[in-house]
Chain A
Amino acid sequence: MLKIYNGGLNVADILKAWYEEESLSNYGAFIPFIGTIRDEDGIDGLSFDIYEPILEKWFKEWQEKAKAKNAIIKMAHSRGDVLLHQSSYIAAVFSPKRRVALEFIDEFVEDFKASAPIWKYDLKNGQRIYALDRSTAIKGSGLLA
């Protein structure tokens, strides 16, 4: 399950909903990752653009990988502006045993950072500045150069 929200995420509500959805599914482990906007470099917050058609395809591939391990994955992400100390990203893995979920959340979040079609901007002095220096070129970039 993948859901995009406008603005910061309501962490308590999302985690509660995910927990309740799977509380009777017989998963022994529920490992969430929660990303929060830190106060650094004088920013007022971050802002995000998302290209949903490719994000959905990317997420579907990870759902298949999770299924192969008898696990499931859920993800929520913000679109638009997210202020300091709010959350912009939550991912979670549910699996029968803890080891699968711990390893899977690590692989998933790393690939998310490198491949998910989401663009980050710093909100600073009323401007929206693309965070190029913290961004990663998607594998295969430079084809048209």
Chain B
Amino acid sequence: MIRVEFLGPIQKDALELEINNLSELATILQETPEMREWLENSAIAVNDTLVSTLDFPLKDGDKVSMLPPVCGG
């Protein structure tokens, strides 16, 4: 099971999904209407490390985080 968390202003509860890579997550979220506005501008982290490829393999217990645009300070 993969836990998917939505950070900051994304108003969505965490998901628990049976997926094998980020590509499968992309397909699921692209079909979720309220997520469309966030997909273009959010970064993705797996186990708290930012990732840059959809091929990134996921294993049971991994945590995926979605990080929308930031503004500290």
Contact = CB atoms under 8 A, between A and B. Distances in A.
A121 B66 CA distance: 18
Interface stretch (A19-27, A66-74, A95-103, A109-117): A109-117
B39 A136 contact: no
Interface string B32-48: 00000001111111001
B37 to A, nearest CB: 10
A6 B69 CA distance: 22
Contacts of A112: 72-73
B42 A141 contact: yes
A139 B73 contact: no
B39 A51 contact: no
Most buried by A among B7, B41, B72: B72
Contacts, number: 114
A143 B8 contact: no
Size range of the chain A interface in the assembly: 35 or more
Interface in A98-145: 109, 112-121, 130-132, 134-145
A32 interface: no
Contacts of A39: none
B71 A131 contact: yes
A134 B73 contact: no
19 contacts: A49-B9, A50-B72, A54-B50, A54-B65, A112-B73, A118-B70, A118-B71, A130-B8, A130-B9, A135-B71, A137-B69, A138-B42, A140-B43, A140-B44, A141-B41, A141-B42, A141-B67, A141-B69, A145-B39
Interface of B: 7-9, 22, 25-26, 29-30, 39-45, 48-54, 65-73
